[in-house]
C-alpha cells in the first residue's frame, strides 16, 4: 500500500484542524467530529491547545484513504509558531493549503505559499467555510490568482456560498470552459502537451488531460483549487479524490542506506526523549546504532509507527514512513539519521526577530527555569536560550507575544514554574565593515595557552551567513581535532560581536596555526603543561577573533518587515506622517475606488507601534499585513547594544580571569 505524508497548512482560524477532524471522520478513524472551541479535536491534544483553541505543536495521525495510507500532519497556523511549520515541511510529500472563504488570502497564507513554491512541494488549495456569511467564490479565485499564483485550476463551483445549504459541484469532461481553461494552464508548462493540443485537440482525451494535471501538480507547477466546508462536509469527497489522485505518494528504497530527518521531539511520561522521524531511505530497527549528524551516535530502544488513528509498537520503520524513536538521547530537532539529505538543514522561514528576558517569580528557581527552557529548546531550537552569567539573566528568542504567553503557560503547567517577562526587544545583527586580522603565537609571553592561532575576518555578501576557511599555508600543519576546535569556537564566538549581536555575512580564515606535540616529564604520563590540547585552542580563539573583529569594525543592522496596508482614501493624508515618523517607506501605492493600498518596508521594532496607532488613524478600517522581509538595514541614530552572556573576550583581563577560574 502506498504512503502519503500530508501536511495541512493555513493562516490561523482558517479551519485546518476542523478539516483534519472531517478527514478523520470520513476515514472512519473517529466516530464523532471534535470541535476546536470545545478542545475535543484529535490533533490538538495538549491541554494548552485545548484551553486556547489553537494549534501550538504539530501532530501526526494516520488513516487509509482510497487505498493510500496517509500520515496527516496538522500544523500551527499562528505566525508565532512558524518554526513548528518549518520543521514539518521537510517531512512532507504534499500539502493542503487551507484558505477561509470569508477572510480570504491573509498574510500567513502568502508566506506559506511562497515557501511551498520555493520548495516545490505539491499543493492543493482548499477554500474552507463556504457556508459562512460573507463567503466568496469568484472574488476569492481572483485574489488567489493575484496574491498567490496565477497557475491555479478551479476544480468545481461553489453553489450558494454564504448559506447553510451551500455545496461544491465538481467540474467534469462535459464542462468545456473547465477543460479549455485547464489545458491553457497546463500548456504553459509543457511544450509537448501544447504542441499536441494545437496540432489536433480532438486527439487529447480528457483522461490524458487529467493525467497531465496530476503530473504537473506533482511537480508543483499548477495548483488545483477546491471549495467546501469542514463543518458541513460540503466538498469533502472531491477534495479526498484530489488528494489521492494529484499528490504523489512517498518514495524511497527500504533496502538503501539509512536516511531520515527528525522534525519533532517530545518527552514521554518518564522524561524520556521521543523523536519523530521521517524516513527517506533504508530501514531502522530496534537496537540499531545510528549516526546522528556528524558527531554522535545513538541506539534505538523502541519504535512506534502511526496506523489508523493511533500509534502501535513496531520492530522497524522503513523508507516513506514516519516513526517515533526512543533511545536517542543526544538527538535534536533538525538532526539527520544516517546519510544527510541535500539541503536538509535549510531554514525555510525567517529566524525570530524578537527576544525577551525571562524572570522567575522566585529567585531560587533560576537554575530550574534554565533547565526547563533548555528542554523546551529541544523541541524548538529557535527559542535560543541564552544565560548571562554576570547579570544572572535568561534570554529567549521569539516570533511574537503569543509565543511568549505560551512559554509562560508551558512553564507553569508542565514544570510548576511561575515566570514573567521583561519588555520584548528586537534582535539585530552585526556585519564587519572591513577586513581585520589578529594572531598570537605559542610560547609568547603574552599567550598563556599552548597554541598558535591567527584569524582574518572579512565582509561577505548579504544573507550568506558566516563561513570558516583554512588558508592554504596552514593545511596539514597540526591534527584535525585542533582545527575543529578552532572552527567550532569561531562559530560560537560569532554569536556575540562588538555590540553583543550575532556577527553574520562574513568569512573567517585561519591564517596561522601551531601546537606543542604530545610530551611528558621523565617517567610520567601525558602532561597538559607541556602538550597542546583542544582546550588551549578553544580558550585562545575568542581572544584572537575579537581582536580581528575590533580591527575590522562592525555595523549594527536591524530587521525589516514588508508591510501591506490598505486604508480609506480620505485618511491617506493623516496616515502618511505617522508612517514617515515610524520610518515606514512605501515603495508602491495604488488608489482603488475608496481606498489606498500601500506596500513597502518598516523596521521590525516599529511594527507593534503602527499596529497600535492604525485604528485611530483609519477609523478602525485600516488593514495591515506584515512579515519579515528577510533583510536588514543599518540602524539609524543610537546603536543598540545587547548584554553579553559569554566571558567577554573583548576585555582580555576579565576573560583570562574567567578562564583561569573555570580551569
DSSP per-residue string spanning 154-212:
E-EEEESTTSTT-EEEE--TT-HHHHHHHHHHHHTT-HHHHHHHHH-GGGS-HHHHHHH
Angstrom distance (rounded) from CA 474 to CA 471: 6
Mean pLDDT of the region 628-652: 88
pLDDT of residue 91: 87
Q: Which residue has the higher pLDDT, 80 or 380?
A: 380
Q: Which three cell numbers mark 451?
A: 597554541
Are 268 and 274 within 8 A, CB to CB?
yes
Q: Which three cell numbers mark 166?
A: 451551500
What separation in angstroms does the CA of 549 have from each of 237, 538, 552, 632, 658? Answer: 61, 17, 5, 20, 21
Q: Record the pTM.
A: 0.75
Provide the pLDDT confidence category of residue 619 given band limits of 50, 70 and 90: confident
| Range with the poorest average pLDDT among 190-194, 213-217, 317-321, 539-543 | 190-194
Are 584 and 602 within 8 A, CB to CB?
yes
Quick one: 417 exposed, middle or buried, by C-beta within 10 A (0-12, 13-18, 19+)?
A: buried
Query: How many beta carbons lie within 10 A of that of residue 634, not counting itself?
Result: 11
Is residue 42 left, alpha or beta, with left meaning phi > 0 and alpha meaning psi from -120 to 50?
Answer: alpha
Beta carbons within 8 Å of 184's beta carbon, 6+ residues apart: none
Angstrom distance (rounded) from CA 223 to CA 152: 5
3-state SS of 448-479?
CCCEEEEEEEEECCCCCCEEEEECHHHCCCCC
pLDDT, tens digit (0-9, with 9 covering 90-100), for 240-276: 999 999 999 888 888 889 888 888 888 888 878 899 9
Domains of the chain: 2-246 (3.40.50.300), 259-338 (2.40.30.10), 354-427 (3.30.70.870)
pLDDT of residue 224: 97
Beta carbons within 8 Å of 601's beta carbon, 6+ residues apart: 560, 561, 562, 563, 584, 585, 587, 629
Angstrom distance (rounded) from CA 653 to CA 37: 59
Beta carbons within 8 Å of 177's beta carbon, 6+ residues apart: none
pLDDT of residue 314: 93
Three-point CA angle 119, 211, 238, nearest 5°: 80
Query: Is the per-residue pLDDT at 523 higher than 80?
Result: no
Angstrom distance (rounded) from CA 287 to CA 110: 44
Mean pLDDT, the chain, rounded, equals: 86
pLDDT, tens digit (0-9, with 9 covering 90-100), for 19-78: 988 888 888 877 777 665 555 555 555 555 555 556 667 788 888 887 888 888 888 767
pLDDT of residue 541: 97
Are 282 and 272 within 8 A, CB to CB?
no
What separation in angstroms does the CA of 263 have from each of 44, 59, 60, 404, 410? Answer: 18, 11, 11, 22, 20
Beta carbons within 8 Å of 152's beta carbon, 6+ residues apart: 125, 141, 144, 145, 185, 222, 223, 224, 225
Q: Which three cell numbers mark 553?
A: 569594525
pLDDT, tens digit (0-9, with 9 covering 90-100), for 120-178: 999 999 999 999 999 999 999 999 998 899 999 999 999 999 998 999 999 998 898 99
Q: Which residues pair with 124 in a beta bridge?
A: 96
Query: Is the per-residue pLDDT at 482 higher than 90?
Result: yes
Beta carbons within 8 Å of 3's beta carbon, 6+ residues apart: 68, 69, 70, 71, 249, 250, 320, 321
pLDDT of residue 75: 82
Are 387 and 496 within 8 A, CB to CB?
no
Q: Which three cell numbers mark 522?
A: 621523565
Residue 585: enclosing H or E segment and its boundaries? strand 585-591
Q: Which residue has the higher pLDDT, 652 or 196?
A: 652
Q: Which residue has the higher pLDDT, 239 or 28?
A: 239
Q: Is 615 helix (H, G, I), strand (E, B) or coil?
A: helix
pLDDT of residue 344: 46
pLDDT, tens digit (0-9, with 9 covering 90-100), for 413-467: 888 999 999 888 889 999 999 999 999 999 998 999 999 999 999 999 998 999 9
Q: Which three cell numbers mark 1?
A: 500500500
Provide the pLDDT confidence category of residue 6 given band limits of 50, 70 and 90: very high
Beta carbons within 8 Å of 552's beta carbon, 6+ residues apart: 432, 433, 434, 435, 436, 457, 458, 459
- Strand segments, DSSP code E, in 34-120 are 59-65, 68-74, 94-100
Q: What percent of the chain has pLDDT over 90?
A: 43
Amino acid at each position: 500500500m502506498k504512503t502519503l505524508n500530508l501536511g495541512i497548512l493555513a493562516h490561523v482560524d482558517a479551519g485546518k484542524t476542523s478539516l483534519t477532524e472531517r478527514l478523520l471522520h470520513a476515514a472512519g478513524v473517529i466516530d464523532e467530529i471534535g470541535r476546536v472551541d470545545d478542545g475535543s479535536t484529535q490533533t490538538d491534544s495538549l491541554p494548552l491547545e485545548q484551553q486556547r483553541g489553537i494549534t501550538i505543536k504539530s501532530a501526526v495521525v494516520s488513516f487509509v484513504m482510497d487505498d493510500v495510507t496517509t500520515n496527516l500532519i496538522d500544523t500551527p497556523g499562528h505566525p508565532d509558531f512558524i518554526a513548528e511549520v518549518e520543521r514539518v515541511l521537510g517531512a512532507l510529500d504534499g500539502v493542503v493549503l487551507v484558505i477561509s472563504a470569508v477572510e480570504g488570502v491573509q498574510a500567513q497564507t502568502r508566506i506559506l505559499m511562497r515557501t511551498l513554491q520555493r520548495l516545490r512541494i505539491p499543493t492543493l488549495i482548499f477554500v474552507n467555510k463556504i457556508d459562512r456569511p460573507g463567503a466568496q467564490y469568484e472574488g476569492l479565485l481572483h485574489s488567489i490568482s493575484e496574491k498567490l499564483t496565477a497557475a491555479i485550476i478551479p476544480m468545481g463551483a461553489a453553489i450558494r456560498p454564504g448559506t447553510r445549504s451551500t455545496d461544491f459541484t465538481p467540474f467534469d469532461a462535459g464542462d468545456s470552459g473547465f477543460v479549455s481553461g485547464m489545458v491553457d494552464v497546463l500548456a504553459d508548462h509543457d511544450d509537448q502537451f501544447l504542441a499536441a493540443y494545437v496540432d489536433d485537440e480532438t486527439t487529447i482525451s480528457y483522461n490524458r488531460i487529467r493525467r497531465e494535471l496530476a503530473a504537473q501538480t506533482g511537480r508543483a507547477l499548477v495548483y488545483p483549487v477546491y471549495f467546501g466546508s469542514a463543518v458541513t462536509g460540503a466538498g469533502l469527497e472531491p477534495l479526498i479524490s484530489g488528494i489521492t489522485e494529484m499528490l504523489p505518494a512517498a518514495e524511497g528504497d527500504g533496502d538503501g542506506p539509512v536516511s531520515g530527518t527528525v522534525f519533532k521531539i517530545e518527552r514521554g511520561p518518564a522524561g524520556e526523549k521521543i523523536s519523530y522521524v521521517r524516513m527517506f531511505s533504508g530501514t531502522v530497527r530496534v537496537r540499531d546504532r545510528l549516526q546522528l549528524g556528524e558527531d554522535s551516535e545513538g541506539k534505538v530502544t523502541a519504535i512506534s509507527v502511526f496506523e489508523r488513528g493511533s500509534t502501535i509498537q513496531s520492530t522497524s520503520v522503513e523508507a516513506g514512513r514516519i516513526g517515533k524513536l526512543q533511545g536517542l538521547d543526544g538527538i535534536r530537532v533538525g538532526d539527520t539519521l544516517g546519510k544527510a539529505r541535500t539541503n536538509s538543514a535549510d531554514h525555510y522561514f525567517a529566524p525570530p526577530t524578537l527576544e525577551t528576558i525571562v524572570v522567575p517569580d522566585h529567585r531560587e528557581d533560576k537554575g530550574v527555569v534554565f533547565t526547563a527552557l533548555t528542554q523546551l529548546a529541544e523541541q524548538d531550537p529557535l527559542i535560543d536560550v541564552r544565560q548571562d552569567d554576570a547579570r544572572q539573566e535568561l534570554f529567549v528568542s521569539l516570533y511574537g507575544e503569543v509565543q511568549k504567553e505560551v512559554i509562560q503557560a508551558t512553564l507553569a503547567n508542565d514544570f510548576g514554574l511561575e515566570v514573567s517577562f521583561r519588555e520584548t526587544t528586537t534582535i539585530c545583527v552585526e556585519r564587519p565593515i572591513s577586513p581585520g586580522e589578529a594572531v598570537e603565537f605559542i610560547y609568547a609571553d603574552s599567550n598563556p595557552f599552548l597554541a598558535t592561532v591567527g584569524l582574518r575576518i572579512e565582509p561577505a555578501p548579504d544573507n550568506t551567513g558566516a563561513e570558516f576557511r583554512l588558508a592554504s599555508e596552514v593545511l596539514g600543519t597540526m591534527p584535525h581535532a585542533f582545527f575543529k576546535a578552532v572552527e567550532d569556537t569561531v562559530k560560537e564566538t560569532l554569536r556575540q560581536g562588538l555590540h553583543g549581536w550575532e556577527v553574520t555575512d562574513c568569512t573567517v580564515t585561519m591564517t596561522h596555526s601551531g601546537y606543542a606535540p604530545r610530551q611528558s616529564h621523565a617517567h610520567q604520563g601525558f602532561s597538559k603543561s607541556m602538550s597542546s590540547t583542544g582546550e588551549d585552542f578553544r580558550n585562545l580563539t575568542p581572544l584572537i577573533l575579537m581582536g580581528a573583529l575590533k580591527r575590522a569594525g562592525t555595523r549594527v543592522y536591524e530587521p525589516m518587515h514588508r508591510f501591506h496596508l490598505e486604508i480609506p482614501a480620505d485618511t491617506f493624508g493623516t496616515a502618511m506622517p505617522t508612517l514617515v515618523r515610524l520610518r515606514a517607506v512605501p515603495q508602491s501605492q495604488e488608489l482603488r475606488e475608496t481606498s489606498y493600498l500601500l506596500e513597502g518596508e518598516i523596521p521590525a521594532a516599529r511594527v507593534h507601534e503602527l499596529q497600535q496607532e492604525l485604528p485611530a488613524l483609519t477609523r478602525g478600517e485600516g488593514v495591515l499585513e506584515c512579515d519579515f522581509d528577510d533583510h536588514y538595514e543599518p540602524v539609524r541614530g543610537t546603536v543598540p547594544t545587547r548584554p553579553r552572556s559569554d566571558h567577554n573576550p573583548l576585555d582580555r583581563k576579565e576573560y583570562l580571569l574567567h578562564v583561569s577560574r573555570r580551569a
